[in-house]
């Protein structure tokens, strides 16, 4: 597109247009300057706010975590669990996360899985010293796994037959408690589990020498 005729030559018309453009530019810049000054307190407020930990930030999350596990604030991380290795097996990820947070805060090394068919291989891989095992799992696959069938399978192998197991279930405790002990579990807990009570059993079991951690006795 070519230049408009007359704009390449000096004259009153061009001078007036330039003055108008200049005046408009000054007004825009002045308006922008006033707007910037008006927003400065807000900008400073945003900077000040950014320097403080927002809700949901790492610092706030730590505070929430401490509220969830108050025991961990009262003692060094490994003073209770002593880095004992625990495997937790449950089909509910919420249950697994709750156990993981609680046990890790007390100094245990925790592995979790939803795969009931891989209990033995996982226990061997992480060298688990104790297993917390759900009783009921969703059906599917070639074999229907329950906490009881897992324990029966463990008895076939000498390296797993003496591994302590705590069974947990959301079903009626009267139905499973005696059966769990007969199957060789060191304890049975109904969900929602009392963490203080299960922790007591865990510590009582793992504080014994390995040769004395006999399934079915607490």
Q: At what angle do helices 119-126 and 147-154 cross, to 10 degrees?
A: 60
Q: What is the pLDDT of residue 210?
A: 75
Q: What is the pLDDT of residue 13?
A: 56
Cα–Cα distance, 214 to 205 (Å, whole number): 9
Q: What is the pLDDT of residue 139?
A: 81
Please give the torsion angle defined by the CA atoms of residues 93, 80, 211 and 152, in that order, rounded to the nearest 10 degrees: -10
Residue 150 burial by Cβ neighbours in a 10 Å radius (0-12, 13-18, 19+): buried
Cα–Cα distance, 210 to 207 (Å, whole number): 9
Residues facing 88 on adjacent strands: 112, 132
Q: What is the pLDDT of residue 89?
A: 98
Q: What is the pLDDT of residue 58?
A: 43
**CATH hierarchy code of domain 59-212:** 3.40.50.2300
Whether the CB-CB separation of 205 and 164 falls below 8 Å is answered with yes
Q: What is the pLDDT of residue 21?
A: 62
Q: What is the pLDDT of residue 208?
A: 84
Q: What is the pLDDT along the chain (218 residues), one digit of tens a residue?
A: 444 454 445 555 556 655 666 666 556 555 545 544 443 343 333 333 333 444 443 433 343 333 223 443 444 445 799 999 999 999 999 999 999 999 999 999 999 999 999 999 999 999 999 999 999 998 876 778 999 999 999 999 999 999 999 999 988 767 788 999 999 999 999 999 999 999 999 999 999 887 676 655 44
Domain ranges of the chain: 9-52, 59-212
């Amino acid at each position: 597109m070519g230049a408009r005729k007359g704009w390449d030559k000096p004259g009153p018309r061009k001078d007036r247009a330039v003055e108008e453009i200049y005046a408009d530019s000054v007004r825009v810049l002045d308006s922008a300057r006033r707007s910037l000054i008006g927003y400065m307190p807000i900008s400073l407020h945003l900077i000040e706010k950014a320097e403080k930990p927002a809700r949901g930030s790492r610092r706030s999350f730590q505070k929430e975590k401490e509220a969830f596990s108050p025991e961990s604030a009262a003692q060094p991380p490994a003073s209770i669990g002593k880095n004992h290795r625990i495997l937790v097996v449950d089909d509910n990820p919420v249950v697994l996360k709750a156990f993981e947070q609680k046990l890790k805060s007390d100094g245990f090394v925790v592995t979790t899985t939803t795969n009931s068919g891989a209990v033995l291989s996982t226990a061997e891989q992480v060298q688990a010293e104790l297993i917390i095992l759900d009783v009921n799992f969703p059906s599917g696959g070639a074999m229907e796994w329950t906490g009881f069938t897992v324990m029966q399978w463990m008895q076939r192998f000498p390296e797993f037959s003496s591994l302590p197991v705590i069974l947990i279930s959301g079903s009626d405790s009267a139905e499973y408690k005696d059966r769990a002990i007969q199957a060789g579990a060191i304890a049975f807990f109904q969900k929602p589990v009392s963490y203080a009570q299960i922790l007591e059993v865990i510590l009582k079991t793992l504080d014994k020498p390995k040769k004395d951690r006999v399934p079915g006795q607490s």
